[in-house]
Amino acid sequence: MTTLLTIGGALHFGILIASALVPQVLDWRGELRKLPRLFAQLVWVHGAFIVLTIAGFGVLAVVNARELGSGTTLARSLCAMIALFWGARLAVQFTYFTPEGYLKNALLWIGYHSLALVFAYLTIVFGWSAMA
């Protein structure tokens, strides 16, 4: 379990790399200019807090993988939170987002669907650790 959780922690940093590309790929600067300033500010602030959350999950998992797999109440609770976070994100990927017009090349299509696999891995591994 320690190895799976360490891999999961590292995958969080891969997600951050992919996330760094989103504003450019979706032309956030241009699109957000069309909104009232406060709405645009909310998007950037929410994005920053999501980045901090993902980075925090990654650091916690890499540094504390053994403890997260220990089965203590705290470890199981944190793993359950991480699994819930990524499970919800995976559900959004398939039930809410409509990316068709934005996956304009093979790299974007592969990246989008690879992220879904990463979200599934994180949901399964952290969920498994929460249940152990």
User: pLDDT grade, residue 101 (50/70/90)?
Assistant: confident
Structural domain boundaries in the chain: 2-131
Please, what is the average pLDDT of the chain?
A: 96
Q: Which helix (H) or strand (E) holds 26?
A: none
pLDDT of residue 49: 97
φ and ψ of 34, to 5 deg: -75, -15
pLDDT(110) > 90: yes
On the question of pLDDT at 115 being above 90, the answer is: yes
Residue 79 has pLDDT above 90, yes or no: yes
Q: Say if residue 127's pLDDT is above 90.
A: yes
The string of pLDDT tens digits covering residues 20-45 is 999 998 999 999 999 999 999 999 99
Residue 125: per-residue pLDDT: 98
Q: Is pLDDT of 46 > 90? A: yes
**Exposed e or buried b for every residue in 88-104, given b needs 16+ CB within 10 A?**
ebbeebeeeeeeeeeee
Q: What is the pLDDT of residue 1?
A: 95
**Can you give the pLDDT at residue 100?**
87
- The pLDDT of residue 53: 98
